[in-house]
Amino acid sequence: MKHEQITEAGKSIRGAVHTDRRHDSAEKHVTGRAEYCDDISEPEGTLHAYLGVSTVAHGLIKSTDFSAVLSAPGVVDVLTAKDVPGCNDISPTGLKDEPVFPTEKTEFHGQPLFAVVAETREAARRAAELAKIDYEVLPHALDPISAIEAGHPHVTAPLKLERGDASTALASAENRLKGRISIGGQDHMYLEGHIAFAIPGEDDDVIVHCSTQHPSEAQHMVAHVLGVPSNAVTVNVRRMGGGFGGKESQMNLFCAVAAIAAKKWNRPVKIRPDRDQDMTATGKRHDFVVDYDVAFDGEGRIQGVEGSFAARCGYSSDLSGPVTDRALFHADNAYFYPHVRLVSRPMKTNTVSNTAFRGFGGPQGVVAAERMIEEIAYALGKDPLEIRKANFYGDATDGRNLTPYHQEVEDNILPRLIGELEVSSDYQARRKAILEHNAHSSIIKRGIALTPVKFGISFTATWYNQAGALIHIYNDGSIHLNHGGTEMGQGLNTKVAQVVADTLQVDFERIKITRTTTEKVPNTSATAASSGSDLNGMAALNAAEQLKERLTAFAAEKWNVAPEDVRFANNRVEIGEQSLSFDELAREAYMARVHLSAAGFYKTPKIHWDRAAGKGRPFYYFAYGASCSEVSVDTLTGEYRIERTDILHDVGRSLNPILDKGQVEGAFVQGMGWLTTEELWWDDAGRLRTHAPSTYKIPLASDRPRVFNVNLAEWSENKERTIKRSKAVGEPPFMLGISVFEALSMAVASVADYRECPRLDAPATPERVLMAVERLKTDG
């Protein structure tokens, strides 16, 4: 691996940008020395909380009896809504529809109703089961279709995207088809579950250590429920053991409970649910049911599209508004729709309130787009890749570059990306061989698919596209770096430190990366929307450049040279004929009373969005990718395996290629799991039955493609002025897993000689694959 960059002086520094650099905590991760929230030493007197939850999906709370709970060994007290000193609401969007604890009604099975506070976690956990609650059971609806049929409201305002005249295009179509696809949800299954540890201070003060992607929101919510200003609450996050969106807003409940209890008893309080309670009480990826109506010509070119995207949002709004919005933003994926009308239906259901998950609704929109492409291909008897190419966005010269939300696609590199992957994966020859194999094999069927991804980068809530950073240079030349992003294993801290090292031309090891804390950088955005490096990298760059400018001005004045004669290189500073180590310059600057601390700031330019009109530029740029996957399916059992996957992904000019490649690999496997093995299932009573690793199946190491070739498009460079011309890598590669879903569809379609689209629902579990095979055999 490369660890060095040659500077203009012909020397090198360790850990500059655009070079491979291992994760700053990699060794700690694999040796178990990395400290997480539950590793923090507990002060004497620490109490422990555990949630008591509803046992019905929808009901009025007629009475509660906590006498058995309070008399249980070790129990200190029970927290309910009456113990909330401030506002009993933790809704991240301010709609006031998500109480810490409900007072009159429970709206999903497993909803937290109270918390037991005890001397030990085990005592609290056991006592929580002793509560006696009497309900008047009400009717419930668990999925978006039954919610629509029951007349349930939307949890937040729907969105409509429209361009052209979709109705006329559909009515006058040469070819037209309608369909429905159900797209399942997904549990985050982070290795470290939710946890919050609150330590009370004097006056209104409280310090909360927790595992959250959004420290500022946790700070605001704790202040909100305590009825104190935000400056009284400090939230600290050193690292998370995974997040994937599940710790963006869902941590609010745990932080609030810990803080309320800590201030009530003036003792430290920790809350950590078991895995099954973590899975039942916190939100997941949204399930969608998508109805589509598409018009196309004899060559497979799309002429018009209508789509309705109904989502299982749960009992409250949480982040369902922006999630369902983003599903519409990506319902085009890589394809130009001349006439289009898309609507969202964020349905209220009697299930846990669903939330952010890697891709934030985008993957569901992309799956719908690929289903329409697949339908057209089978209807016309063509290779789906041929239909994909026919419908790619063009450019301003052909007028085929306007999205349904009226943003121009200005940098479409997909034709090149797809072309290169088609050649490097040997797609055409392999597809021909698979067709021949399927013609002569009655049991093992194979499939192959090459699918693209176009993903918009930026928060659609424009005000979230900002970040801050704080850098100190101490008088011995060591550097302290803090920024508003959170580290959940993705390597954000490593990348941001590389930016600072590169700017000041010092070795990476000189920089100490510190925990994320609301004390140092205020009003931060969530580390989400693939924006961690984009925003925080630019904020750190701004702070580093301020310091470099001050040091340059000081050196130029002290040694009487022009500022342009001061050069930073290889841990030294060349000042005309003088040459000082970076340490020496820091000391000289300190002695001369130069300010060696800088707060950096960045806000994303160019973006704007008018939701009411459904028009604007919500995304600063697009990231692209493509994957080619081959599968084998046993038509007697529905079981399958992934034989080979080839990926070519666009990360612009990578800040750290080895970390980015790891993100692409992990995202692909996680996306593949969502579409194949990860199935959420509720029984008729509204109980989540897939609430533990024993019943919810994520991909194992043995499920990865047998041949797995992952490459970055090294020729790509972001045309927008992002951090060092890189592109975001967190979410876009998640959708590369769709190639597996499409390959499975081809294998199943071979049973009926490819005459019809199998219309697999997601996840395409072996059971669903087998049912599709049997259905096509019967139809045939």
SS (H, E, C) 284-319: CECEEEEEEEEEECCCCCEEEEEEEEEEEEECCCCC
Which contiguous run of DSSP H or E holds residue 624? strand 621-634
Distance CA 409, CA 405 (A): 11
* Chain Cα centroid distance, residue 132: 38
Residue 63, number of CB atoms within 10 A of its CB? 8
Cα separation, 704 vs 688, in Å, equals 27
Question: Which is it for the CA torsion 540, 546, 551, 556, positive or negative?
Answer: positive
* E strand or H helix that includes residue 170: helix 166-171
Strands (E), 486-534: 511-513, 516-517
How far apart CA 70 and CA 268 sit, in angstroms, is: 20
CB atoms within 10 A of CB 129: 13
Helices (H) and strands (E) in the chain, counts: 19, 31
731 carries an active-site annotation: yes
Q: How far apart are CA 678 and CA 258, in angstroms?
A: 31
Cα separation, 392 vs 373, in Å, equals 11
Length of the chain: 780
Of 375, 665, 731, 742, the catalytic one is 731
- Those residues whose C-beta lies under 8 Å from the C-beta of residue 510, and which sit 6 or more positions away, are 477, 478, 479, 501, 571, 582
527 class by beta-carbon count within 10 Å (0-12 exposed, 13-18 middle, 19+ buried): buried
Give the closest residue to 686 by CA, choosing from 315, 314, 351, 278: 351
Q: Which two tokens stand for residue 202?
A: 């004097």
Listed residue (756, 771, 767, 761) closest to 741, CA to CA: 761
Q: Is residue 471 within a helix (H) or strand (E), and if so which, with residue range?
A: strand 466-473
Say if residues 461 and 322 touch (Cβ distance below 8 Å). Answer: yes
CA distance 301 to 686: 43
Instruction: Tell me the chain's radius of gyration from C-alpha atoms.
Output: 27
Q: Which residues form the catalytic set?
A: 731
